[in-house]
Amino acid sequence: MIRKRLFISMNADLIKEPILYNLVKNYDLVPNVRRADVSLSEAWIILELCGGSDEHIQEGIDYLLKLGAAVKPLQGDYVKSLKQASDFRRREKIKQEKKKQHKIFDQTFGGV
């Protein structure tokens, strides 16, 4: 069985989606949640996905990306993976904040 450890982050819109159920039902994957944090505005999961082939796992990853989740592969030991996940999450928050600022600027100044 092929295993991949992933860091998945998502905004509030996806928190109510049955993501893990869909990975099992539609992609024949076995998710193992290693760590997670959910708030009203966002969520992140360190997830180990197990499947029969790399193709099955990639299909599951493509599903997550299509939903709008950010997905990053994690490697190494668990503690190191947590640091990688934290760094990735921080970068994703900065990107989202910049997008918000650009949108506000464009709305205010008409894209000048």
pLDDT at residue 76 is higher than 80? no
Residue 91 has a pLDDT of: 81
The DSSP symbol for 27 reads H
Mean pLDDT over 78-90 rounds to 68
CA 39 to chain centre: 14
Cβ atoms of residues 88 and 46 within 8 Å = no
- Of the pLDDT bands very low, low, confident and very high (cuts 50, 70, 90), residue 7 is very high
Instruction: Of 66, 14, 2, 21, give the one whose Cα is nearest residue 39.
Output: 14
pLDDT at residue 70 is higher than 90? yes
Total-model pTM: 0.68
pLDDT at residue 112 is higher than 60? no
Instruction: Of 24, 11, 5, 112, give the one whose Cα is nearest residue 68.
Output: 11
Any idea what the Cα angle at residue 11 is, between residues 86 and 25, rounded to 5°? 95
Q: Which of 11-15, 25-29, 46-50 has the lowest mean pLDDT?
A: 11-15
Domains and CATH numbers, the chain: 2-109 (3.30.70.260)
Name the percent of the chain lying above pLDDT 70: 89
